[in-house]
Structure 1
Amino acid sequence: MRFIPFAPLALLLASPLAAQDTPPPAAEPARPAPKLIVVISVDQFSADLFAEYRNRFTGGFKRLLDGAVFPAGYQSHAATETCPGHSTIMTGDRPARTGIIANDWVDLNGPRPGMVYCAEDERVPGSSFSNYTASDIKLRVPTLGERLKNADPRVRTVSVAGKDRAAIMMGGHKVDQLWFWRDGKGFISYSDRAIPASVGRANVTAEAQIAKPGAALVEPAWCKSIDRPIVANGKTVGNGRFARPAKNEGLWKASPAFDTAIFGLATAMVQDMKLGRGPSVDVLTVGASATDYVGHGFGTEGSEMCIQLANLDQTLGKFFAMLDKTGVDYVVALTADHGGNDIPERERERGMPMAARMDLTVNIKTVGDDIAGTLGLKGPLLFGGVNGDVWISNKLSPADRDRVRDAAVKRYAANPQVAAVFTKPEIAAATLPAGPPETWSLLQRARASFDTERSGDISIFLKPRITPIPPATTPAGTIATHGSIWDYDRRVPILFWRRGMAGFEQPLSVETVDIMPSLAALVGFALAPGEIDGRCLDLDGGPGSSCP
């Protein structure tokens, strides 16, 4: 890595002739570019989970620990959700540039007024928020794969994920193969894409697994210390082993079996398409989704997450072993789309008295109805949610919209569970953040997720460890979540590995937008200054540099 060493005073006073006594070391020959770029996003794999389990890994994660390790990575923006996070990884841009401000948002003036999804085309006749056509049209910038493909049509790009938004946001607008899981249908793609044999085989295997009961998985010995049942919103978690009844697709997805299926399809794509063995570089992106489903359904600090990560570690190890057998020179980057927060019931037992569930006084409908009654207006007035954007009804006059905005800001600012409330003009006027992401103000974090056309009229952010899932007495599927403006949701590991590289660990903060330019430099693809938000990270652990 490039650095300027400290020079002792005696050396500074030495004569110029003395400095010439020792010839400079010969420059190392440039290493050829890798033939295959592999980028993996582990959904909801926080930096906290990485730190907690890194000394337990024996498989694929252990290999990555021998590469370039950046344990303090950041999804630096406020919108710590799946779609915005994935949009940063292969574009090098924050959501303010990608246009992906959330998983979904409200468009009151669009072709289908109301909620729209980040990976849909709402212009399709008959579409709805819950029955949509997957599309890449919301992504406003190109990915590395499509940039390379534009420069050289021989480049092949493949994107595989458990969620459509993960596959689309990492694959981009120009892909040779793009496949994601759709409940009840298996791995699917856009309607006009022919189904290759690899996808057919993957679906047959997955369908057979779902059809059968799932036996309880073996718990590693090091998981036993956190194996303890706890009730969260009427649901007992913390000591699960992923046993499941037959034909329960939801529980199959919230288990290590889902990642096995995703990497199984990625393996088949590598083998069938002979990725990395063509005339140019190829790009493969993989979105591993099971960790997110486990986190939402069971929390992040019980036996379930421990078993999930132990199994993912082995799945990654098998995937890398398969890549080794191809003989292809490949580089891997692994990160996450966001972090995650555990259930408040368990957090309070572990020294976090501030942990709580959202009170209904924060609920958008509750606040909107209260304002409507106070101001004598007809509702609904407010749309959206907390920890992000809120939109004011476009059926109101400009004066009434201002009244509603001011009333909402006042109510939320006074709520003891709310950390900050910003109006759209406040966020728009803020300068785009720069420098270490851990030093950004809350307003700067919101600015990094702001889009003039798509963002709401107000942005509301809860205090740390306030889970935006209200208390419930009946068992709920989702008991924990992410999406906050706080670092437990922003911080993610960023790991690079390539055979023969000099590994190192760099503890300073970096961003997921830095992944794309770092990989672009390895394959010699030039980016203009200021063209993207990210910067190249030097992945050479020696005196040289992998950056231009």
Structure 2
Amino acid sequence: MKRVATVFAGALALVTANAAAQDSTAPTSAPTASATLPAPKTPPKLIIAIAVDQFSADLFAEYRSHFAGGFKRLLKGAVFPSGYQSHAATETCPGHATILTGVRAGRAGIIANNWVDLKTGRADKSVYCAEDESVPGSTSAAYTVSDKHLLVPTLGERMKAANPATRVVSVAGKDRAAVMMGGHQVDELWWWDGKKFASYANRPTPAVVQQTNDAINARIAEAQPPLDLSPFCETRNRAVGIGGGKSVGTGRFDRKAGDTRAFRASPESDEALFAMAAGLIRDMKLGGGAATDLIAIGASATDYVGHSYGTEGSEMCLQLTRLDETMGTFFAVLDSMAIDYEVVLTADHGGHDLPERNAENAVPGAARIDPALNPKAIGDAVAAKLKLTGQLLYGDPVGDVWIDPKLPKATFDAVQAEALKLYRAHPQVAAAFSRAEIITAAPATGPAETWSLVQRAKASFHPARSGDIVVALKPRITPIANPLGGYVATHGSLWDYDRRVPILFWRKGMTSFEQPLAVETVDIAPTLAATIGLKLGTPEVDGRCLDLDAGVGDSCR
């Protein structure tokens, strides 16, 4: 790679230099292989929870044999290649909400990234999952970040309740990722706001956050050359046309000076995030106290790359290669601090490639959504049929759809019945469920891949927030009608390519093993809780503890 002096390398140099000045006893190199291992059953001093946004189980399987850095280390721990974000709304906010709460998205109150509240007094009826819509003058696009919509505690909160000496930190490339993993009680919470790493109002900025922001600003101010392609990434270097004379698949992350948007959708944004996380661990001495500390890291660049370029081009190959290197460096820095840390890595959801490349690869059913499935268009058709006026339906083309609550009940019921009829008749729709059908559906049991479609929808459902209709598109139908308007690919379906994600646990000295059967991301919190002696099970959470002792013991006792 030509870019040697990256943001990450520069920030890590500052972190290491600052730490050495503050602590002359700090080790200057990673512990050797003969270093003392943690005593069996001894709680780790630091839990590191990493969520790689849009890192599907399919991508994990595709790249795992090529990983040589941080992922390779995690592959030497407990590997669960078939973890499930079991709900239907496979988006960033719901997915992150499951990881450290142990609770499925609907129960957590996080039904989607955005939902519609037609009864709110605000002119903007769309509500963002990580905002406080009661702030005067706010909109779902210009909002005040808040944790108010998360209805359940996170593992960090439970750890603090058990031992107030616990420190909890959450950092991410998106505000909703940081908030949903951090929860309501955090010592530090920082997210990339498009220009800098920011936090709640009136919180002092730690030195390492300011240093990271300064390094990023200097980097963005300079034009950047393209990254070199490895022989492996070269095999994915093929242009795919998306119309209008534009294509994706051959990008190498060169960018013009001042392009903050391109920085966000590049490997460097994750590099900066991990550098800042390493600095916060060092400066706060996380893992150095009497209590176990926790840091959540939401690495968002993979998602932005997937949306902007798809999952199978040179762009994703470069992104995952660099992320692997970045995490390898991050772990080496932690090793140099001699911290006993435990890592879990997973994803908030999966994703699938753009339909143009899927079609070239003869993937059955790959297509873009018919604009006629927009709720307003469906609502207009219903209005014409029932001889009504005004907008009847609200929402997005896939997922929750809301009906005007001011309608008389008989009219409301007629609108719902006609809308369901139209949705179900459309050739791109797999299923459409009414609110009543979801509420009365049997709760899901058994492995997540066996759940019915309505049970997957039920796992995302919250009675006070969810829609009156839930629409599921057929497999490989991308809910972006025009790829020239911004993103070319996405996620959000109830199919397994969006639901299935890897779950990897690692701690020095643990026995390496792989368990191929389905587990869920809600199993992560009770599993981590067990490693620190914190009892966490039903009815507090939906997940179960996973045995990390590979059959030689019971880590869940």
TM-score (norm 1): 0.93
Tell me, yes or no, if structure 1 residue 176 matches structure 2 residue 187.
Answer: yes
Q: 2:155 aligned with 1:150, yes or no?
A: no
In structure 2, what is the Cα distance between the partners aligned to 1:434 and 1:89? Answer: 19
2:505 corresponds to which of 488, 496, 500? 496
TM-fit CA distance, 1:394: 2.0
* Matching residue's letter, 1:546: S
Which residue number corresponds to residue 28 of structure 2? none
Q: Which residue of 2 aligns with 1:364?
A: 375
- The match for 2:341 among 286, 310, 330 is 330
CA contact (8 A) 1:296 1:479 kept: yes
Residue 281 of structure 1: which of 262, 279, 292 is its match?
292
Contact 1:99 1:140 in 2 (8 A): yes
For 2:525 and 2:482, locate their aligned partners in 1 and report how far apart those are by CA, in whole Å: 40
Q: CA deviation at 1:542?
A: 4.7
1:157-168 aligned within 5 A? 157-168=168-179
Q: In 2, Cα distance between the equivalents of 1:514 and 1:476?
A: 38
Q: Which amino acid aligns with 1:394?
A: P
1:230 partner letter: V
Corresponding position of 1:522: 531
Q: Are 1:134 and 2:162 counterparts?
A: no
- In 2, the alpha carbon distance for the partners of 1:157 and 1:434 equals 33
Verify the 8 A CA contact 1:159 1:171 in the aligned structure 2.
Answer: yes
Q: Partners of 1:287 and 1:301 in 2: how far apart?
A: 22
- Of 64, 78, 84, the residue aligned with 1:74 is 84
- Provide the C-alpha distance between the structure 1 equivalents of 2:222 and 2:178, rounded to a whole number of angstroms: 27
Residue of 477, 481, 493 corresponding to 2:490: 481
Counterpart-to-counterpart distance in 2, 1:201 and 1:314: 22
Residues 154-212 of structure 1 show CA distances to partners (whole Å, capped at 9, x for unaligned) of 0000000000000000000000000001123x011110211111111111011111111
Matched with 2:430 is 419
- 1:441 corresponds in structure 2 to 452
Give the count of matched residue pairs.
518
Match status 1:219 vs 2:229: yes
Residues 155 and 525 in structure 2, CA contact (< 8 A), matched pair in contact too: yes
Alignment of 1:37 with 2:43, yes or no, is no
| Alignment equivalent of 2:276, drawn from 254, 265, 275 | 265
Q: CA deviation at 1:112?
A: 2.3
Alignment of structure 1 residues 57-456 onto 2, 5 Å = 57-112=67-122, 114-184=125-195, 186-234=196-244, 235-456=246-467
Structure 1 residue 505 and structure 2 residue 527: aligned?
no
Corresponding letter in the other structure for 1:262: L
Q: Is the 8 A contact 1:368 1:379 kept in 2?
A: no
RMSD of aligned residue pairs (Cα, Å): 1.2
Q: State the partner residue of 1:5.
A: none
Q: Which amino acid aligns with 1:361?
A: A
Q: In structure 2, the residue corresponding to 1:223 is in which secondary structure?
A: helix
> Structure 2: any 5+ residue segments left out of the alignment?
1-37
Task: Give me the whole-angstrom Cα distance separating, in 2, the residues matched to 1:387 and 1:316.
Answer: 35
Would the aligned equivalents of 1:233 and 1:476 in 2 still touch at CA under 8 Å?
Answer: no
1:263-295: CA deviation from partner (whole Å, max 9, x where unpaired): 111011011101100121100000000000000
Contact 2:395 2:401 in 1 (8 A): yes
Quick check: 1:335–1:494 contact (8 Å CA) kept in 2?
Answer: yes
Q: 1:542 to 1:398 in 2, by over 3 A?
A: closer
What is the distance in 2 between the residues matched to 1:243 and 1:141? 42
1:528 Cα offset (Å) = 4.6
Deviation at 1:378, TM superposition (A): 1.8
SS at match of 2:420: helix
2:537/2:544 contact within 8 Å kept: no
Contact 2:309 2:489 in 1 (8 A): yes
Structure 1 position 492, deviation (Å): 0.3
What is the Cα deviation at residue 393 of structure 1?
Answer: 1.1
Contact residue 390 and residue 459 of structure 1 kept, 8 A: yes
Q: Is the CA contact (8 Å cut-off) linking 1:77 and 1:95 kept in structure 2?
A: yes
Moved over 4 A (4+): none
Bigger drift between 306-315 and 219-228 goes to 219-228
Letter in 1 for 2:90: T
3-state SS, counterpart of residue 333 of structure 1? strand
Counterparts of 1:529 and 1:30, CA distance in 2? 26
SS at match of 1:268: helix
The 1:60/1:29 distance shift into structure 2, 3 A limit, reads closer
**Greater shift after overlay, 34-43 or 228-237?**
228-237
Runs of 5+ consecutive residues of structure 1 not aligned to the other structure: 1-27
Q: 1:228 to 1:394 in 2, by over 3 A?
A: same
Structure 2 residue matching 1:226: 3-state secondary structure: coil
Counterpart amino acid of 2:348? D
Bigger shift: 154-163 or 107-116? Answer: 107-116
Report the secondary structure of 1:480's partner residue: coil
Q: Is this contact kept in 2: 1:335–1:495, CA < 8 A? A: yes
Amino acid at match of 2:102: G
Counterpart of 2:234, as a letter, is K
SS in 2 for 1:179: strand
Q: Distance in 2 between matches of 1:49 and 1:30?
A: 33
Contact 1:336–1:492 (8 Å) recurs in 2: yes
Give the distance between the partners of 1:224 and 1:79, measured in 2 at CA. 34
Q: Deviations over 1:8-60 (max 9, x none)?
A: xxxxxxxxxxxxxxxxxxxx984311000000000000000000000000000
Q: Are 2:41 and 2:531, in contact at CA under 8 Å, matched by a contact in 1?
A: no
The amino acid of 2:263's aligned partner reads: W
Within 2, Cα distance between the matches of 1:76 and 1:29? 35
Provide the secondary structure at the position in 2 that maps to 1:128. Answer: coil
Q: Which residue matches 1:4? A: none
SS in 1 for 2:480: coil
Matching residue's letter, 1:265 = M
What do the CA deviations read for 1:74-132 (whole angstroms, capped 9, x no partner)?
A: 00100100000000000000012101000010011124261000000001111111110
Q: Which amino acid aligns with 1:52?
A: E
| Cα separation, 2, equivalents of 1:233 and 1:469 | 14
CA separation in 1, counterparts of 2:364 and 2:342?
Answer: 43
Query: What amino acid sits opposite 2:194 in the alignment?
Result: D
Secondary structure in structure 2 of the residue aligned to 1:206: helix
Equivalent residues of 1:233, 1:479 under 8 A apart: no
Larger radius of gyration between Structure 1 and Structure 2: 1
Give the whole-Å Cα distance in 1 for the aligned partners of 2:556 and 2:204.
39
| Alpha carbons 1:343, 1:479 under 8 Å: kept | yes
The verdict on how the C-alpha distance between 1:414 and 1:224 changes in structure 2, with shifts beyond 3 A counting, is same
Deviations 1:273-322 (A, max 9, x none): 01100121100000000000000000000110001000000000011001
> Are positions 1:541 and 2:550 aligned together?
yes
